[in-house]
Structure 1
Amino acid sequence: MNWRKIFIPLGIVVLVIAAYRAYGPQGILTVSGGLVMWGLLHYTRLMNVMQKARHSPVGYVGSAVMLNAKLKPGVNLMHVVAMTRALGEQLSAEGQEPEVYRWTDGTQSHVTCEFVGGRLARWELVRPAPRQDATPASGS
């Protein structure tokens, strides 16, 4: 169960009631203004992330190895999109849990991320095997 869906609205209600008891109608206006500002900050961040992501191909990242090093369990999809500056290539069916996305770099290395409940649960870095057909340069 996602406790955030319960505790955040409950916390807002408690905050509004406490503000009303302490400052009357002026307290409700102050708390409401703060909540609107909080919502606008999140909306602005989302729009900035999406504007940066629109310039990159879907599923592309500059370095899959660096992305793998930066990932941490529990971060949300928007945070990963902000790190990669690109939307991930969706591998799972739409609306299906867990959501699986992949980011690939120029060397065909890729990171496959699995999101459960909107949070990063696990990820895997896959690097292609080095090609054996290249002949070493001989010193003469």
Structure 2
Amino acid sequence: MNLRNVAIPIVLIVVLFAGWRAWGLQGLLVVGGGVLMWGLLHLTRLMNVMQKASRNPIGHVGSAVMLNAKLKPGVNLMHVVAITRSLGQQLSVEGGEPEIYLWKDASGSQVTCEFMHGRLKRWQLERPTRADGT
């Protein structure tokens, strides 16, 4: 199980309790408002990324080489979708681990990304070979 699935709710409960202990109902409301704002900021970012991705074809990226240069291990899938502004073409079984997605550009270059628990583990750039052998 992913530690973030447990740690984030525990931290939120501790912060809410600390606000209650320090300033009573006012502290609880202030901390609760801060937690609500944090959640709304993340939801807004997710909606903006998905709205931009919905305008492009699935699995298409402007430049696979530039995508390859921008990728770093450990980034989440939403970050990669934000970079590409496109949903990746899913190559793996839905709901299975690892998740494998593919992005192609107009020149035929493609980047295959492998995600474990929503985090990028490895990726591979494949460029088309030219007919003249160069």
**Equivalent residue, structure 1, for 2:78:** 78
**Equivalent residue, structure 1, for 2:68:** 68
Q: CA deviation at 1:65?
A: 0.4
* Alignment RMSD: 1.0
Question: How far apart are the structure 2 equivalents of 1:63 and 1:128?
Answer: 13
**Equivalent residue, structure 2, for 1:57:** 57
1:26-72 deviations in Å (ceiling 9; x for gaps): 11111111111111111110111111111111000000000000000
- For 1:1-140, list aligned pairs within 5 A: 1-132=1-132
Give me the identity figure in percent: 64
Query: Secondary structure of the residue that 1:24 maps to in structure 2?
Result: helix
Counterpart amino acid of residue 37 in structure 1? M
Query: Secondary structure of the residue that 2:56 maps to in structure 1?
Result: coil
Gaps of 5+ in 1: 134-140
TM-score, normalized by length of structure 2? 0.96
Q: CA deviation at 1:131?
A: 2.0
Which has more radius of gyration? 1
Moved over 3 A (4+): none
- For these two proteins, the number of residue pairs brought into alignment is 133
1:76-131 deviations in Å (ceiling 9; x for gaps): 10000000000000000110100000000011100000000000010000001112
Query: Secondary structure of the residue that 2:125 maps to in structure 1?
Result: strand
Counterpart amino acid of residue 30 in structure 2? T
Query: Secondary structure of the residue that 1:106 maps to in structure 2?
Result: coil
TM-score, normalized by length of structure 1? 0.92
